[in-house]
Chains A and B, each alone.
With several copies, the nearest count.
Chain A
Amino acid sequence: MANDLTSPLDVDRIRKDFPILDRRLAGDHALAYLDSANTSQKPQAVIDALTEHYARHNANVARAVHQLGEESTAAYEGARDRIAAFVGAASRDEIVFAKNASEALNLVANTLASGLADDPRYRLGPGDEIVISEMEHHSNIVPWQLAARRTGATLRWFGLTDDGRLDLSTIDELINPRTKIISVVHQSNILGTVNDLAPIVARAHEVGALVMADASQSVPHMPVDVAALGVDLLAFTGHKMCGPTGVGVLWGRGAVLDALPPFLGGGEMIETVSMEGSTFAAVPHKFEAGTPPIAQVVGLGAAVDYLTGLDMAKVYAHERELTGYALQRFAGVDGVTIIGPDTPEGRGGTISFTVDGVHPHDVGQVLDEQGVAVRVGHHCARPVCVRYGIPATTRASFYLYTTTDEIDALADGLERVKRFFR
């Protein structure tokens, strides 16, 4: 197990919290789950929180005077408190629940594009510029392409350096007084790169632009404090951080969320409705139309408790150890090329690579037959593949339950892949 590392986590004990890690796969293979950047596994505590909610407290929230309704509302809003604390939000009202990170990103792109904001700084139009980067997940590209198409704003982006980092050399021209918003990924889901957002935030605020961080891959893996990052908006997703599917989070500075017009209409996002027109609730409810993902928020609260119990600083340290180990291990496998930073500095435990002469699909399939689960493809970040001239990659990604044994199984598996296809 992780004994050969100086990991601060007791990984053997942690693994017992995740029932799926005991799964035997076809051919009675043990599971080496190296696909946590795609979705993480769930500890029993989260599964139990869901069961307990449905079996004992289930009711709709914010609408009921009855006891189950009060219990359910207390659980839902209590989770909001803990999730707010988890990312260092100034207020619980800065936490908006969405269905996933993609919706959180779309919420911001759509409300800026809607033209309904009172304050012109929150309205995109012709001549305005939106800045993203070439290492974005499709969920942080397509919403901005659609917003640009709808409003006549121009979409621009940071390019990438050959070693898989943001090319900030043109930052002062790229972020300029026409820029209304910059939306960039905090940790890339394909390259593993962790972006230093400080220079972007500094330049953005110089020109009066908003900064949004796609933190889908950082919040699960390191301590993230929105105040320290200095950004205005930040998105993340429950299912990658030990929580259920069906819930994502948008954090925004109070003043920014207040200024954005409503997104989806209906249910409890209103103040008062008449046939002639409606007024809207204060944030966060303004952005939570319809019955929210109640049980999923409760489950995410349990996930945050679990992560806090382990201590995110230790989770981060553990993954750094693993990343160092894996990079070293892969360096010894002939024909394997890392796509992205090949040293542990400024990167997380998500490693993409190619295997000479073998298509990623075939790499993934042969690994799967040995119980090693990795992801193959463009990882919803096709522009990165185009940038580096490859059709796809194989990607191994680690989490708090990952062991060096699993990384060894991957490295051994790659030798087998090569024997098979050469």
Chain B
Amino acid sequence: MSDSLYQEIILDHYKYPHGRGLREPFQAEAHHVNPTCGDEITVRVAVDGGTLTDVSYDGQGCSISQASASVLHDLLSGQGVDDAFEVERAFVELMQGKGEVEPDEDVLGDGIAFAGVAKYPARVKCALLSWMAFKDAASRALATEGEVTR
């Protein structure tokens, strides 16, 4: 049951999230809400010389939205900014692909476990919630890089 949607990897990230909690320093923060289900996420981005030194987050919501934030942290923390945006694009593409996009494990790591979610339109928003917040925060962080908020 639930094979396609609830992969073991997703349940693992949900039960044992990686890198959860909001940390300092950070340049920008974004808070996103999914109005249909009340899921919320706050993502903070710290950039230093073209590298995402930390992507921290906190939130509440369903297994998909929370596991996706945990995977986001794993994939993007410590990455170069350009690489990070490439991963972000690949994840969004996978999620919007209606289950017809073949995910690249080299780029997406544990993110490939979300391939099945793309077949459930109502849940795609859950999976994307933290990624949208990240994109928002990261764009603003890049615009203000240098002014570290403590």
Among B14, B60, B123, point to the contact of A365 (Cβ < 8 A).
Answer: B123
Q: Say yes or no: A391 contacts B40, CB within 8 Å.
A: yes
Known: A366-B2, A420-B6. Is A73-B62 also a contact (CB below 8 A)? no
**Assembled-state Cα–Cα distance A360/B62 (Å):** 7
B64 partner residues in chain A, CB cutoff 8 A: 361-362
Residues in A267-304 with C-beta less than 8 Å from chain B: 268, 270-272, 281
Cβ of A182 under 8 Å from chain B = no
Residues in A229-286 with C-beta less than 8 Å from chain B: 268, 270-272, 281
The contact string, 1 if C-beta is below 8 Å from chain A, for chain B 1-17, is 11001100001001000
Cβ of A369 under 8 Å from chain B = yes
Cβ of B33 under 8 Å from chain A = yes
Q: Say yes or no: A359 contacts B122, CB within 8 Å.
A: no
**Assembled-state Cα–Cα distance A369/B5 (Å):** 10
Cβ of A54 under 8 Å from chain B = no
Q: Say yes or no: B35 contacts A361, CB within 8 Å.
A: no
**Assembled-state Cα–Cα distance A421/B66 (Å):** 13
The residue on B at minimum CB distance from A386 is B38
| Chain A interface bracket (under 10, 10 to 19, 20 to 34, 35 or more) | 20 to 34
**Assembled-state Cα–Cα distance A271/B38 (Å):** 10
A107 partner residues in chain B, CB cutoff 8 A: none
How far does the Cβ of B120 sit from chain A's closest Cβ, in whole Å?
Answer: 7
Q: Say yes or no: A73 contacts B121, CB within 8 Å.
A: yes
Known: A69-B122, A420-B6. Is A391-B61 also a contact (CB below 8 A)? yes
Cβ of A395 under 8 Å from chain B = no
Residues in B13-50 with C-beta less than 8 Å from chain A: 14, 33, 35-40
B138 partner residues in chain A, CB cutoff 8 A: none
- How many residue pairs at the A-B interface have CB separations less than 8 Å? 74
Q: Say yes or no: A270 contacts B40, CB within 8 Å.
A: no
Cβ of B51 under 8 Å from chain A = no
Q: Say yes or no: A63 contacts B36, CB within 8 Å.
A: yes
The residue on B at minimum CB distance from A391 is B38
A392 partner residues in chain B, CB cutoff 8 A: 37-38
**Assembled-state Cα–Cα distance A64/B36 (Å):** 9
Q: Say yes or no: A365 contacts B35, CB within 8 Å.
A: no
Among B1, B35, B63, point to the contact of A272 (Cβ < 8 A).
Answer: B35
Q: Say yes or no: A385 contacts B62, CB within 8 Å.
A: no
Q: Say yes or no: A271 contacts B35, CB within 8 Å.
A: yes
How far does the Cβ of A145 sit from chain B's closest Cβ, in whole Å?
Answer: 16
Among B1, B14, B122, point to the contact of A70 (Cβ < 8 A).
Answer: B122
Q: Say yes or no: A359 contacts B36, CB within 8 Å.
A: no
Residues in A342-388 with C-beta less than 8 Å from chain B: 359-362, 365-366, 369-370, 376-378, 382, 385
**Assembled-state Cα–Cα distance A370/B2 (Å):** 10
The contact string, 1 if C-beta is below 8 Å from chain A, for chain B 124-150, is 001000000000000000000000000
Q: Say yes or no: A281 contacts B35, CB within 8 Å.
A: yes
How far does the Cβ of A26 sit from chain B's closest Cβ, in whole Å?
Answer: 10
Q: Say yes or no: B40 contacts A361, CB within 8 Å.
A: no
Q: Say yes or no: A62 contacts B36, CB within 8 Å.
A: yes
The residue on A at minimum CB distance from B126 is A361
With A361-B61, A378-B37 already in contact, 13 other A-B pairs whose C-beta atoms are closer than 8 Å? A69-B122, A70-B122, A359-B61, A361-B37, A361-B62, A361-B126, A366-B6, A377-B38, A391-B38, A391-B60, A392-B38, A420-B1, A421-B63
Question: What is B's interface to A at a CB cutoff of 8 Å?
Answer: 1-2, 5-6, 11, 14, 33, 35-40, 60-65, 120-123, 126
- 26 example contacts (A-B, Cβ-Cβ < 8 A) are as follows A62-B36, A63-B36, A64-B122, A65-B120, A69-B122, A73-B121, A268-B36, A270-B35, A271-B35, A360-B37, A361-B37, A361-B62, A361-B63, A361-B123, A361-B126, A362-B62, A365-B2, A365-B5, A376-B37, A377-B36, A378-B38, A391-B37, A391-B39, A392-B38, A420-B1, A421-B11
Q: For the complex of A and B, list the 4 residue pairs with the smallest distance between their C-beta atoms, beginning with the closest.
A: A361-B62, A359-B62, A391-B38, A392-B38
